[in-house]
Amino acid sequence: MTEKVRPRRKLAPRKGVAAAAAARTPQRQARAAARRDAILAAALDEFSAKGFAAARLDDVAKRADVAKGTIYLHFADKESLFQELIRVMLSPMIGAIAALGAGDMPMNVLGERFIDLFVREVYDTRRRDVIRLIITEGRRFPKLAEFYYREVLSRLIETVRTLLRRALERGELADDALVRFPQLLVAPGIIAIFWSGLFDRFEPLDVRAMMRANLDHLFATRRPA
């Protein structure tokens, strides 16, 4: 009987998510939305700095300049806040991914575009912290991992695969390695995200340069000696 202790919660506090259902006034609506955003921004700061478990909602509230109770007007609990944060930060990317599949440029140009997109839209952005959070906390939030895989990763991978298959047929690729492992394209980017948080003080790393070096080799048209 190594059972976990029963959680508290005597009644389902069905608020959180749908605080907008009632308020129709522009005034209130705007104010509420602003607060929600402030809370999300503060949450990102706190979760990024301390990790999910060690982050304190009192600190989130303080940072958002809001009372702790207010958080519970917008989010059901700490976990919902965390998951919502990830969702909100990533949803803009979902649409952007589709747009990526449209172009029809040669590989070397597309590669450059890809690096630029990654650095500008992720690495130099708060989304870098979001990616970090998904990877570091994802194991304990299977729902979150699934959401990320379904809504972002799988789509991104499928899009990239399509582009790569086209390139392969055009003879711009030496083999199907990248079609089988599109992960190789972003791998250096992900590594750089973690490196920057851990070892930059000892040995800084130039993401762009590393990603470019990687791409140059991945797109080489000759097999190894």
Partner DNA sequence: TGAATATGACTGACTGGTCAGTCATATTAT
Partner DNA sequence: ATAATATGACTGACCAGTCAGTCATATTCA
From candidates 18, 99, 102, 198, binder to its own copies by CB under 8 A: 198
216: nearest Cα among 124, 114, 122: 114
From candidates 76, 138, 151, 168, binder to its own copies by CB under 8 A: 138
Q: Which residue's CB is nearer to its own copies, number 62 or number 166?
A: 62
If you ran DSSP here, which 8-state letter would residue 7 be given? P
69 counts as binding DNA under rule CB under 7 A: yes
CA distances (Å), origin 53, targets 56, 57, 133, 203: 8, 10, 12, 29
Residue 135: how many CA atoms within 13 Å on its side-chain side? 12
Q: Are 141 and 207 in contact (CB under 8 A)?
A: no
SS3 175: coil
133 counts as binding DNA under rule CB under 7 A: no
From candidates 40, 42, 43, 57, binder to DNA by CB under 7 A: 57
116 counts as binding its own copies under rule CB under 8 A: no
Which tokens in the block code for residue 4? Answer: 């976990």
Binding site for its own copies (CB under 8 A): 2, 50-51, 53-54, 62, 108, 134-140, 145-146, 149-150, 153-154, 172, 174-175, 177-178, 180-181, 183-184, 187-188, 190-191, 194-195, 197-199, 202-203, 205, 209-210, 213-214, 216-225
